[in-house]
Structure 1
Amino acid sequence: MNWLSDFTPPGIKKIFRQREGDGDQLWSRCPACGEMIFKKDLEAAQHVCPHCDHHMRIGPKERLDALFDNGTWVKQDTPDVHDDPLKFKDTKKYADRLKEYRRKTGEKDAMVIGKGQIDGLGVVAAVQNFAFMGGSMGMALGEGIVRAAEIAIADRSPLVVFAASGGARMQEGILSLMQMPRTTIAVQMLRDEGLPYIVVLTDPTTGGVTASYAMLGDVHLAEPGALIGFAGPRVIEQTIREKLPDGFQRAEYLLDKGMVDQVVHRHEMRMTLSNLLRVLMKFEGSAASTIVLPDHSDEESDDVLEAEVVVSEELPKAAE
């Protein structure tokens, strides 16, 4: 404590604290290049740094607002689950952690489901919230994926999942790991109904999420620079005692190895998904892109769909 704090009246100190808070609200620092960015400009750019193009993490609301037509979507209820089935406690009770993150994020858990339209096509989207305990997969998240699949099937709509997670939630033990086969069954339900399932891998997508529904998509898109893998690179280096190559487990590296179908800039994600889903759903309608579907009525087999797509940019190769 210095001499200024001893002699400054409480009212003056309060004013200074408010000014510091206002400054924190106005500016944000890019974690990649360190540049200061006006927060309104950053929000307008969907939290992509205008200086180095670094894709920062964003929440479900920002993600869904940018995805759906006119930012209009309807939040879907997720099933309630037992909050603390194992009565787990480490440095803090698990029940108390849940209360804390619910207060911080305003969400029940790490999964938000929204239903809306992308260029007139009805779509169900499930977004993991990394701000809620690192987007970890527990019973609530597993139930969320199953519910999203059920909604998509009921509406005959495609399902798009934005994955962002540190893995399984240790506070729920084996109950968390059980969500891996449960979510796999949910994906199979979509396949049985002939509905597209698209996964967008964001930073980071790791652990049990990568080992289950995040790698079962019909098409896998990824944001630039996203960390994608099962174990983290530091753990792998310590295990194999070798230096990993530059960019290991990043989206671009996995694209080169065939694990990701396309790396898509956040500003182009909506249009890419629109083009892709409209082809997979054989959907025609008014949109920024025009899709012309050939007549297959005289052909003996409908197993292969060939479509001429007229767009201003190249269609993802996985959809051709």
Structure 2
Amino acid sequence: METPMNWITAVVRPKVRTLLRKQTSENLWIKCPETGELVFQKDVEANLWVIPGSKHHLRITAAQRLSITLDLGSQEDVPLPDVPVDPLRFRDKKRYVDRLKEARAMTGLQDAVKVARGTLEGIPVTVAVQDFHFMTGSHGMAAGEAIITAAEAAISHRTPLILFACGGGMRMQEGVLSLMQMPRTTVAVRRLRAAKLPYLVVLTDPTTGGITASYAMLGDVHLAEPGALIGFAGQRVIEQTIREKLPEGFQRAEYLKEHGMVDMVVPRADMRATLARLCGLLTRRPAAKAASVVKKPILAAAAK
């Protein structure tokens, strides 16, 4: 015999569940990848997406990176050229075009690299940012065109170019067409150097594969975020090849700085001021101190 429904089970419980669902956010807490500590999301957000206790630097989106780098209200997105979509008609478990559609819907980006112009403490700059959230920041034809466009924009407007490198390497779905972007972006960097304009590279977690083997290691100054993984092949592959145990912290930013591959390891909170100081020195233009360029804490809306 079925139990008759009453007002407690039919009305009160569903309303309580709905109320709790509205008040509890799935993203209320963030778990630190290093320590496993649960941290209140708003505290991490106010700390530029760095875990306050462990100082672990979380990966952030291209929009967030531009928001915390450029002066308020100065950002102007640079239009990027269209490239052929899925020229090889590649398919693994999914069609490549479907993967692109999913990545674009999730990130709001056309591809892994976003380019913008603006000012950094009053100094005009061009900034290119790789977004790991778009197919692990992998580098294909669209990303290559974006970096070349960034270099051309910097040359056209006589500004330094700042590149935030991040990604797992070349995009296998585009095969040799992806690999061709390595020499193409290298030529773009050489043109920038011929124009005697500064090229600053910030290596973030992770910067690997063909990205490291080309434009990410051609900067005038190389900065890195703490703990960033930087290298070409993975540590396990290297160990299997040379049949030796690699040192502790191998391929991390601090290790590379000790061995001369990175000039500076800079916490995210100090990155903006450091880049402004370098741009001012290299362009002989002092950074502004006006209140109009002071940054506010990163906004959640920047993640969209």
Match of 2:195 in 1: 193
Q: Does 1:113 align with 2:115?
A: yes
1:114 shift after superposition = 1.3
Report the Cα distance in structure 1 between the residues aligned to 2:237 and 2:23, rounded to whole angstroms: 38
Q: 2:65 aligns with which of 63, 66, 74?
A: 63
CA contact (8 A) 2:277 2:287 kept: no
Over the aligned positions, Cα root-mean-square deviation in angstroms equals 2.0
Name stretches of at least 5 consecutive residues in structure 2 with no aligned partner: 1-8, 291-304
CA contact (8 A) 1:65 1:72 kept: no
Match of 1:93 in 2: 95
Match of 1:75 in 2: 77
1:18 shift after superposition = 7.2
Match of 2:56 in 1: 54
CA contact (8 A) 2:127 2:162 kept: yes
**TM-score relative to the length of structure 1:** 0.84
Match of 1:262 in 2: 264
Report the Cα distance in structure 1 between the residues aligned to 2:154 and 2:211, rounded to whole angstroms: 20
**TM-score relative to the length of structure 2:** 0.88
Q: How does 1:1-320 map to 2 (within 5 A)?
A: 12=14, 15=17, 19=21, 22-70=24-72, 72-284=74-286, 286-287=288-289
1:216 shift after superposition = 0.2
| AA aligned opposite 1:32 | E
Provide the aligned length of Structure 1 versus Structure 2. 281
CA contact (8 A) 1:197 1:219 kept: yes
Name stretches of at least 5 consecutive residues in structure 1 with no aligned partner: 1-7, 289-320
Alignment CA distance shift 1:29-1:15 (3 Å) = same
1:277 shift after superposition = 0.7
Q: Deviations over 1:163-191 (max 9, x none)?
A: 00100000000000000000001101101
1:32 shift after superposition = 1.2
| AA aligned opposite 1:225 | G
Three-state SS of the structure 1 residue aligned to 2:117 is: strand
CA contact (8 A) 2:136 2:168 kept: yes
CA contact (8 A) 1:65 1:71 kept: no
1:71 shift after superposition = 5.8
Report the Cα distance in structure 2 between the residues aligned to 1:285 and 1:80, rounded to whole angstroms: 35
1:151 shift after superposition = 0.6
| AA aligned opposite 1:155 | H
1:144 shift after superposition = 0.3
Three-state SS of the structure 2 residue aligned to 1:202 is: strand
Match of 1:309 in 2: none
1:218 shift after superposition = 0.3
